[in-house]
Amino acid sequence: MASSQEPGASAFDRLRSHYADSRASCPECGHEDTEGGWRVTTSGSRVSYQRVCPSCGAVDALELRL
């Protein structure tokens, strides 16, 4: 489990770490992604988290509105 209390980590980094731990399995094929490669992008009032399954290519995406 990734540490969510890393010194200097932003709230967005801590949330990415949480997703890497809690959403490690692909919703399409069930592949367990141990790398937790979530990509984070922002656009003003939205923060998007996205990862592509290395096994089947399915996209898992979450979006937060601020």
Written as one string, the DSSP assignment of 17-35 is HHHHHHT-B-TTT--B-SS
Cα(28)–Cα(2) distance, integer angstroms? 24
**Is the full-model pTM beyond 0.75?**
no
Write down the pLDDT at residue 2.
Answer: 47
Write down the pLDDT at residue 10.
Answer: 86
Cα(7)–Cα(59) distance, integer angstroms? 30
pLDDT in tens, the chain (66 residues): 444 456 778 888 888 888 888 888 888 999 998 876 889 899 889 999 999 999 999 999 999 998
What does the domain layout of the chain look like in residue ranges? Answer: 11-65
Under 8 Å between Cβ of 11 and 22: no
